[in-house]
């Protein structure tokens, strides 16, 4: 701090205020008297339940697909690894609506894969599965990114030592590599869960907004905003609490 000019505190304070002010403004509009009733209305409850279900499933899918991806990206020096990393990170910068359109052309009824799934009697678009796919698509890079960084930082010396002690590659993976990056795996999973929970654009494009089937919390909030602003604020407040909890969980180490 001593190396910084004092005036920097002013724009820094403005920046912090800019982030906090809207949250405070929203929290101030919560109708505490009806808070419970607003949250337990049928449509709110079904959106909450669906969001929780799909986000947890997406987080699990992110772990299943993201851990192997992160391992390959961190440890492979084959040509094409850089390209693969760029491709995997695309959903991070892609507008979610575009992601939804892309998913539609892959898994929709007329889609590249969806067309064949349709023959088998499987319909993905506008189903709960579509919600999970949309959420996984946008959340996957969060897990891959945080895990790959941790794998690179951990380096390969423990893995080499383990191999030199006679451990086969699979055992090295399960008993050395993964335990060493467990904190990053957990925070990556929490981050991808949070991203899945907040997913809106890809979901509404690819899965639509059917109550109980594809209408997740963010969609419910968006729809209630016009018809029942108090319910929208109450639900938003819940999502904000979840976000704060996620930040505390994922960054606990850094703060401590």
Partner 1 sequence: MSLVLRAAVAEREVELDLEVADGETLALVGPNGAGKSTALSLIAGTLRPSSGSVSLDGRVLADARTWVPPHDRRITTLSPDPVLFPHLGVLGNVMFPLRAQGVPRRDARRRAEEHLAELGLSALADRRPAQLSGGQAQRVAIARALAADPRLLLLDEPMAALDIDVAPALREQLCRFLAGRTAIIVTHDVLDALALADRVAVLEQGRVVDSGASAEVLSRPRSAFAARLAGLNLVHGRWDGRRIVLEDGGSLPAASDLTPDTAALAAFRPSAVRLVEPGQGLPRTVRSLTPHGDLVRVRTEDLAADLSLQDAAARHLAPGTEVHLAVDAVDVTTYLA
Tokens, residue 84: 């693969």
Which residue, 40 or 174, is less far from partner 1 as judged by CB?
174
Tokens, residue 223: 């729809």
- Does 169 contact partner 1 by CB under 8 A? yes
CA dist list (Å): 68 to 75, 112, 214: 11, 25, 29
Give the residue from 76, 34, 90, 57 showing the smallest Cα distance to 235: 34
- Does 69 contact partner 1 by CB under 8 A? no
Q: Taking the complex as a whole, how short is the minimal distance between the CB of residue 158 and partner 1, in angstroms?
A: 6
- Does 256 contact partner 1 by CB under 8 A? no
Q: Which of 50, 104, 150, 176 binds partner 1 (CB under 8 A)?
A: 176
The Cα–Cα gap between 78 and 238 comes to 45
The Cα–Cα gap between 64 and 195 comes to 17
Window of 38-46, 81-89, 176-184, 198-206 that interacts with partner 1 by CB under 8 A: 176-184
The site for partner 1, by CB under 8 A, has a size of 19
**Residues in Cβ contact with 102 at an 8 Å cutoff, skipping those fewer than 6 apart:** 94
Work out the widest C-alpha separation in the chain, in whole angstroms: 68
Q: Which of 163, 210, 240, 243 binds partner 1 (CB under 8 A)?
A: 163
Contact positions with partner 1 (CB under 8 A) in 178-237: 179-180, 182
**Residues in Cβ contact with 171 at an 8 Å cutoff, skipping those fewer than 6 apart:** 162
Q: Taking the complex as a whole, how short is the minimal distance between the CB of residue 157 and partner 1, in angstroms?
A: 6
Residues 121-160 vs partner 1: string with x where CB under 8 A? ------------------------------------xx-x
**Footprint of partner 1 on this chain (CB under 8 A)?**
157-158, 160-169, 171-172, 175-176, 179-180, 182
């Amino acid at each position: 701090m001593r190396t910084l000019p004092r005036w920097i505190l002013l724009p820094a304070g403005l920046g912090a205020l800019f982030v906090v002010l809207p949250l405070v403004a929203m929290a101030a509009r919560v109708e505490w008297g009806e808070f419970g009733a607003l949250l337990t209305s049928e449509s709110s409850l079904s959106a909450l339940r669906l969001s929780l279900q799909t986000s947890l499933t997406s987080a699990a899918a992110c772990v299943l697909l993201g851990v192997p991806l992160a391992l390959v990206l961190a440890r492979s020096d084959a040509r094409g690894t850089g390209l693969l990393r760029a491709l995997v990170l695309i959903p991070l910068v892609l507008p979610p609506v575009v992601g939804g359109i892309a998913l539609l052309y892959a898994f929709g009824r007329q889609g590249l894969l969806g067309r064949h799934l349709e023959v088998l009697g499987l319909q993905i678009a506008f189903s709960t599965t579509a919600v999970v796919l949309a959420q996984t698509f946008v959340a996957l890079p969060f897990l891959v990114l945080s895990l790959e960084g941790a794998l690179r930082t951990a380096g390969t010396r423990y893995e080499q030592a383990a191999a030199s002690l006679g451990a086969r590659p699979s055992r090295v993976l399960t008993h050395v590599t993964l335990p060493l990056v467990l904190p990053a795996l957990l925070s990556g999973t929490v981050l991808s869960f949070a991203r899945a929970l907040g997913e809106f654009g890809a979901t509404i494009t690819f899965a639509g907004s059917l109550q109980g089937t594809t209408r997740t919390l963010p969609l419910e909030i968006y729809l209630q905003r016009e018809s029942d602003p108090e319910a929208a604020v109450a639900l938003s407040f819940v999502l904000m609490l979840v976000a704060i909890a996620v930040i505390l969980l994922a960054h606990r180490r850094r703060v401590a």
